[in-house]
Amino acid sequence: METYYLFIVLILMLLAISDLVVGVANDAVNFLNSAIGSRVAPRHWILIVASLGVLVGSLFSSGMMEVARKGVFYPQNFYMSEIMVIFLAVMITDVIVLDFFNTFGLPTSTTVSLVFELLGSAVAVSIFKMMGNEESLTNLGNYINSAKALGIISAILISVVVAFVTGTVIQYFARFLFTFNYKKSIKYVGSIWGGIALTAITYFIVMKGVQGSSMLSGSVMTYIKEHTFLILIYSFLIWGAIFQILISLFNLNILRFIVLVGTFALALSFAGNDLVNFIGVSMAGLKSYEILQANPGVSPDQLLMHDLAGEVNTNFIYLFIAGLIMVITLWTSRKAKTVTETEVGLGRQDSGMERFGSTQFSRSLVRVVRNFSNRTGRFVPKSVSSFFEKRFDTSKAPKYTNPNDAPAFDLIRASVNLVVSSILISSATSLKLPLSTTYVTFMVAMGTSLSDKAWGRESAVYRITGVLTVISGWFFTAFVTFTMAFIIAAALFYGKTPALIIVLAIAVGLIIKSHFIHKKRTDAEKIDEDTLTTDDGIVKKCTKEVTKSLKDVLRTFTKTIEGLTNEDRKTLKQVNKDVEDLNAEAKKLKYNVYTVLKKLEADSIETGHYYIQVIDYLREIAHSLTFVVSPSLQHIENQHKGLTKAQAAELKRISEDISVFFDDIMKMIKENDYTGVPDAIKKQQDILEIVNDARKKQVKRIKQNETGTRNSVLYLGLLNEIKNIMLHTVNLMKAQRDFILYNID
């Protein structure tokens, strides 16, 4: 029996390693966002500072391990066998859910994940336990610490609002004080701001980073608590004096120092407090196994876990190893970079290609705010509004000749992000309020970006949609983790070893699949970054995109005709998804035109003109194809009569001719040989004649009542869109030819 539970402990340890990897990938955004977004230093230096914070913080995390053991449920009321089911369900769920969020670049709270996983699995085991003992469900409170769960939910709601409002207000005053051209004003008030910032960060390190650690004696912590105010005053005076000397004598940019120290502090806090989210459950499982070994002869089904409710001390070696794994992940994880890019993208100062779309709610909200602003602005004197506009004039910000060198936001906002996050988190910690580091840092970053006018008319609806998507994901996390942990715990409780093997296999399969999905997405983005740097790179990228799009158009069109002819609903549903992806890609290229044109050489006016034409024709082809696919699917979905034999034969011939036509065009584009353009135009005219002939035949069938209304509307609509596709395709070929030939010249 001990061998079986030793095997479970080994599984928990492997899951802990996996959880460290996916957890760091998710939470890295908390402490990397400000430094990377402001480009305070090269990425490797930022990672070095963050790595030091993670290593130091991991050594101070022992005192937080009790959350996994007794924070949500009462371990003394569970047997060894039941506790291990709870722990296994938690770890398996955590790895799957966090990896899912990382794959799609959405930051979520590992703290909330852990709590609701513990809650879900513990509730499941408690219910089954009570059913076996014929207890009433009203006794659930004997097993579950419901007050703790409610406290965390309340903290979620409060922290989201408070962090956003605080970040907005403080950033507004900071920007008003420093303006976007902060290099002048920093000489006069920089030491004051630096003193406040470093005092807040220092206090944050003590209160949030190391409080509760077993490495600090009780007397030290007591002294800190009793002399907090004096420590803050002395810290402000000392840091302020140091910064004034550095500014006056050495003209040092103290904002860089503030941002790097803040990055270290948040990284330390992350490791010190959130490490429990990744290894706390596995450490509790190991402790449970040690309790079993200390009670020989006692069955796991009869051994109550009283000892788990006692004092928690985690071996220094485990903490150090966990810290090393987190540091390695920080340097190597591609998903950590993806999650960071999501938050940086939502807060960046300039507009451009947005990751999120717009919704009716975001559009309505922006409209209401604009109307309110316009109405209240009438009552503000022009001199006052003009003064404030000058303080928030973004045109005074530093200019960069190469757009790739520009940071997402400046050091003022980066320092506010870190200082405000530090103050809020340390304040909540001192009041013993449960708080999510992810929620606070994200909402502060969104609040500061709002005050900085990063949410302008060009981007507001998209940024609001993105923020709401992330926030809804947080609540979705709570629901999903609770439900999934409940289901897995139920499966393990009744299914034992076979269920464990099946669940682990499913988990591994999902993680492997998500890895390939993420790799495919990031590889495509990397290709874009590598090619869109020179005119030659843009030409190659355009050629590749055009060839790929035409290939997708041809495949989708051919499958649509086949599916419609055979009344194959499954095929039509698939091509309907394909055409949605094709439209999304064409839309992305169109919205990315601004970025591409800025990267073209200064004298490449004609190049840019032809590039715009190519993208426009691609968009029109995808749009026309939509009106081929969608009506076909709706026709079959509604169980209307399919095509007649004559119609099917006519469409099949047109489809075959279009396939040859597209193959010739794709060959020309791929080989950059446009000598066959006249032949392609002749083929286009031949196909259009066939389309016109098919239209005349359909009119004749209508007059002879051979087809019904719905069939006729569908068929005539298809012929019209086929004609549009042919016209746009030839225009695309000509624009691509001119685009290529101009660059060759």
R_g over Cα of the chain: 31
pLDDT at 386: 85
Distance CA 188, CA 191 (A): 7
pLDDT at 379: 81
Q: 687 and 658 in contact (C-beta within 8 Å)? A: yes
pLDDT, one tens digit per residue, over 196-245 is 888 888 777 766 555 555 555 667 777 777 888 888 899 899 999 998 89
**φ, ψ of residue 144 in degrees (nearest 5):** -110, 135
pLDDT at 70: 57
Mean pLDDT of all residues belonging to the chain: 81
Spell out the SS3 assignment of 392-416: CCHHHCCCCCCHHHCCCCCHHHHHH
Burial of 509 (0-12, 13-18, 19+ CB in 10 A): exposed
Domain 532-744 sits in CATH 1.20.58.220: yes
DSSP of 159-186: HHHHHHHHHHHHHHHHHHHH-S-HHHHH
Which residues sit opposite 144 in a β-bridge? 73
pLDDT, one tens digit per residue, over 404-436 is 667 878 888 888 888 888 778 777 666 656 567
pLDDT, one tens digit per residue, over 426-468 is 776 666 565 677 778 888 888 888 888 877 766 778 778 877 8
* Residues in the chain, pLDDT under 70: 1, 29, 60-71, 105-107, 149, 152, 156, 206-218, 273-274, 276-277, 309-314, 335-343, 345-347, 349-357, 400-405, 428-435, 457-458, 518-538, 591, 593-608, 742-745
DSSP of 144-161: B-HHHHHHHHHHHHHHHH
Burial of 436 (0-12, 13-18, 19+ CB in 10 A): buried
Angle at 478 between CA 133 and CA 85, to 5 degrees: 35
Q: 317 and 362 in contact (C-beta within 8 Å)? A: no
Residue 189: closest CA among 210, 173, 208: 173
**Residue 675 in 3-state DSSP?**
coil
What is the DSSP-derived secondary structure letter of residue 704?
Answer: T
| C-alpha distances out from residue 714 to 72, 194, 303, 692, 709, Å | 60, 69, 72, 16, 9
Q: Whole-model pTM?
A: 0.71
**Residue 229 in 3-state DSSP?**
helix
Residue 82 is which amino acid? E
**Residue 73 in 3-state DSSP?**
strand
**Residue 79 in 3-state DSSP?**
strand
Q: Which helix (H) or strand (E) holds 264?
A: helix 254-275
Distance CA 437, CA 110 (A): 9
pLDDT at 679: 92
pLDDT at 697: 92
DSSP of 270-328: HHHHHHIIIIIHHHHHHHHHHHHHTSTT--TTT-B-GGGGS-----HHHHHHHHHHHHH
pLDDT at 563: 92
pLDDT at 685: 93
pLDDT at 743: 60
Query: For the chain, what are the domain ranges?
Result: 2-397+405-523, 532-744
**φ, ψ of residue 304 in degrees (nearest 5):** -80, 145
Tokens matching residue 322: 């966990």
Distance CA 411, CA 194 (A): 12
pLDDT at 326: 85
